[in-house]
A and B are shown apart, each in its own frame.
Chain A
Amino acid sequence: NAGVTQTPKFRVLKTGQSMTLLCAQDMNHEYMYWYRQDPGMGLRLIHYSVGEGTTAKGEVPDGYNVSRLKKQNFLLGLESAAPSQTSVYFCASRVAGAQETQYFGPGTRLLVL
């Protein structure tokens, strides 16, 4: 049982390049989330999904797209990377239900030059 995994762990991009971050969970969780964390800012929700085939915008969705074609995977795409997207990206998942807690992946560190 690997829990929540993220690929890649670290990436350097040039401005304007695109990339996809992959989040995978093997706990059969319904809900999945993408956050970014910047120094002193705390976690900010980018997009989330409450089930396969459904996605919704969070607090800071601009510049990102997501897809959840399979229940266990949640992809975060950057179509044209900008230096402002330099951050640590965390994926999380949890069971549906108000009392449930989130489980996080180890994070992806992205540097956009």
Chain B
Amino acid sequence: RKEVEQDPGPFNVPEGATVAFNCTYSNSASQSFFWYRQDCRKEPKLLMSVYSSGNEDGRFTAQLNRASQYISLLIRDSKLSDSATYLCVVNMGSGGFKTIFGAGTRLFVKA
């Protein structure tokens, strides 16, 4: 079983739609959680951290469920510019030095 698993998609949605991605992790000792965004042929960039209480950044909402070991990302009012691959990321290990990336979920937003 992979340490971090995501549905690869692709998700094809119209502009203005709401779309949700889920991610599961296997190590219950995982310490911190993030969503990254990667555009085609570019490096991954941090989208947002994920906190236990849930957090929101504009149209983006992230949730963490430690009991079930999953993380979610909700995108409201999708824009064409949201088209990208979204990576679920988990820090684990002593001091959180070990970072595990999910394989990513591909999103296409169409006009």
| Contact residues in B for A112 (Cβ distance below 8 Å) | none
Interface membership of chain A positions 11-33, coded 1 if the CB is closer than 8 angstroms to chain B and 0 otherwise: 00000000000000000000101
A99 lies within 8 A of B104 (CB): no
Most chain-A Cβ atoms within 10 A of its Cβ — which of B32, B44, B87, B97?
B97
Q: Which residues on B sit within 8 Å (CB–CB) of A69?
A: none
Q: Which of B31, B43, B102, B103 is within 8 Å of A99, CB to CB? A: B31
Contact of A98 with B91 in the complex, beta carbons under 8 Å: yes
CB-CB under 8 A from A107, the residues of chain B are 42-43
Q: How far is the CA of A35 from the CA of B34 in the complex (A)?
A: 18
Pick from A35, A43, A48, A90: contact of B97, CB below 8 A: A48
A90–B44 touching, CB < 8 Å: yes
- The interface bits of chain B over 78-99 (1 if a CB of A lies within 8 angstroms of the residue's CB, else 0) are 0000000001010100011111
Residue-wise interface mask of A (57-86) relative to B, using a CB-CB cutoff of 8 A (1 in contact, 0 not) = 000000000000000000000000000000
**Which of B8, B87, B96, B103 interacts with A100 by CB under 8 Å?**
B96
Chain B's closest residue to A41 (CB) is: B103
Residues 94-109 of A contacting B (Cβ, < 8 Å): 94, 96-107
Classify chain B: how many residues form its interface, as a range.
20 to 34
CA distance A33 to B43 in the complex (A): 14
Question: In the complex where A104-B44, A107-B43 touch, is A98 in contact with B99 (Cβ < 8 A)?
Answer: no
Which residues on the A side are within 8 Å of B43 (C-beta)?
A: 90, 104-107
| Inter-subunit contact B99/A99 (CB<8 Å) | no
Residue of B32, B42, B49, B99 touching A33 (CB-CB under 8 A) = B99
Chain B positions within 8 Å of A, measured between CB atoms, are 8, 31-32, 34, 42-46, 49, 87, 89, 91, 95-104
Binding site for B on A (CB under 8 A): 31, 33, 35, 40-43, 45, 48, 50, 90, 94, 96-107
14 contacts between A and B (CB under 8 A): A40-B8, A41-B103, A42-B101, A45-B99, A48-B97, A48-B98, A96-B97, A97-B96, A98-B31, A100-B32, A100-B96, A102-B89, A104-B45, A105-B43
